[in-house]
Amino acid sequence: MPQTNKPETKSIKHFSVKELCQTLQISPLESGVLTQSEFPLKIPADFLAQIEIGNPLDPLLKQVLPVLAETDQVTGYTLDPVGDLNNNPTPSLIHKYHGRVLLIASPKCDIHCRYCFRRHFPYEQQINQRHWHKALELIALDESIHEVILSGGDPMSLSEKALVNLIEKIEHIPHIRTLRIHSRTPVVAPSKAPNKLLLEWAKKSRLNKVLVVHCNHANELSEQTAQLLQQYRTAGFQLLNQTVLLKDVNDNADVLIDLSHVLFNQGVLPYYLHQLDKVQGASHFEVPDLEALELHEEMRQKLPGYLLPRLVREIEGQPYKTPL
């Protein structure tokens, strides 16, 4: 895969769980950490800087620290909860919804979120340039597709050059009207996010451009994310956010309301609030549906309509994200 064009020193890629605990001055024993995992700890420096020192309950830390609860075997929690591995016409393409396709643009992410439904996917084997070529051919043949969504992994973990290269190929397909990028990079690693070629491309592109970031807590947002998001907006991207509802991270109406306001301050509209996908290893993040609905109702009472995200769950076989 293409390498990132930014120096590796800007993100901490191979930080051991022990080192993380030392840096944050928390006790591994009390926090129930898991020192070995097939989905290893990965935390970018920018995200680390937003975590409170000495607080084992920090809502950002909870999202990245591997814990023993991940080894629990819980009924209903599976390896591929949304059935993505069964909907691929070609290895990097997922066509489940009308008019839009999802293209897995990168096998990697800048962060490893413990609740991620893709934590068991065989990415590295799954994607290469040959797959992209095939995927683009299929998209070009199907005129019912008008939107291409770049997802991953994280498309912004590609080098900016590789990313823009791919986007320009998509732009050449006449029936494509909208390019959408799903990325957590601008929030968790703003200093690594694409900010040159992509912006130059966007300013002159004929396509509608949407950037859906992924932010779960207002503490993830900073002056740095504000500046970066402003650049994307100026270049013509519509900015939306998706959040995953997570126990002990954001399962609190005040936290979610605050998140909506801070996102809006940074030019981003809340789009989806997702119920957790039931992936093996993530059961400790589950918020029961009834509680989720109560939280959403409280948000509805206190937020303007345009700051209320849609509460949804992905159900295998459904042609859209299903409202709760």
Ligand X SMILES: *Cc1c(COP(=O)(O)O)cnc(C)c1O
For residue 323, give the H/E element and its range: strand 322-323
Shortest Cβ 249–ligand SF4 spacing (Å): 12
Smallest CA-to-CA distance from 180 within 203, 157, 202 is with 202
Residue type at position 125: Q
Sites of contact with ligand X (CB under 6 A): 94, 96-97, 100, 102, 149, 320-321
Written as six digits, the tokens of 96 are: 């489940």
Instruction: Choose which of 46, 70, 154, 314 interacts with ligand SF4 (CB under 6 A).
Output: 154
Asked if 184 interacts with ligand SF4 (CB under 6 A), we say: yes
Among residue numbers 201 through 230, which ones bind ligand SF4 (CB under 6 A)?
Answer: 214
Alpha-helical runs (H) found in the chain: 17-24, 45-49, 61-64, 123-126, 129-141, 160-171, 185-188, 197-204, 223-234, 253-265, 289-302
Tell me how far, at minimum, the Cβ of 135 lies from ligand X, in Å.
Answer: 13
Tokens of 104: 């897995």
Which of the ranges 120-128, 147-155, 254-262, 270-278 carries the binding residues for ligand SF4, by CB under 6 A?
Answer: 147-155
238 in Cβ contact with 306 (< 8 Å): no
Q: Does the protein bind ligand SF4 through residue 112 (CB under 6 A)?
A: yes
Pick the piece of the chain touching ligand SF4 (CB under 6 A) from 89-97, 104-112, 128-136, 262-270.
104-112
| Whether 269 contacts 313, CB under 8 Å | no
109 lines the binding site for ligand SF4 (CB under 6 A): yes
Name which of 166, 171, 231 is nearest 196 in CA terms: 231
Hey, which residues between 242 and 301 contact ligand SF4 (CB under 6 A)? none
Which part of the chain contacts ligand SF4 (CB under 6 A), choosing from 105-113, 122-130, 246-254, 293-301? Answer: 105-113
The nearest distance, CB 108 to ligand SF4, in angstroms, is 8
With CB under 6 A, what is the number of residues at the site for ligand SF4? 11
Instruction: Return the closest-CA partner of residue 136 out of 173, 100, 104.
Output: 173
Which of the listed partners (ligand X, ligand SF4, none) does 91 bind, with a CB threshold of 5 to 8 Å by partner kind? none
Structure tokens at 322: 């299903």
Please tell me whether residue 192 binds ligand SF4 under the rule CB under 6 A: no
Give which of ligand SF4, ligand X, none residue 295 binds (C-beta under 5 to 8 Å, depending on kind). none
Nearer to ligand X, 2 or 89 (CB): 89
> Which residue, 87 or 205, is less far from ligand X as judged by CB?
87
Length of the chain: 324
Phi then psi for 34, rounded to 5 degrees? -110, 120
Cβ contacts of 318 within 8 Å, gap of 6 or more: none
For residue 92, give Cα distances in angstroms to 86, 139, 196, 222, 280: 12, 12, 26, 33, 23
Segment near ligand SF4 (CB under 6 A), from 25-33, 52-60, 81-89, 152-160?
152-160
Q: Name which position in 43, 61, 111, 279 contacts ligand SF4 (CB under 6 A).
A: 111
How far apart are CB 121 and ligand SF4 at their closest, in Å?
9
Q: How far is the CB of 168 from ligand SF4 (least distance, A)?
A: 24
Q: Which residues bind ligand SF4 (CB under 6 A)?
A: 109, 111-113, 116, 118, 152-154, 184, 214
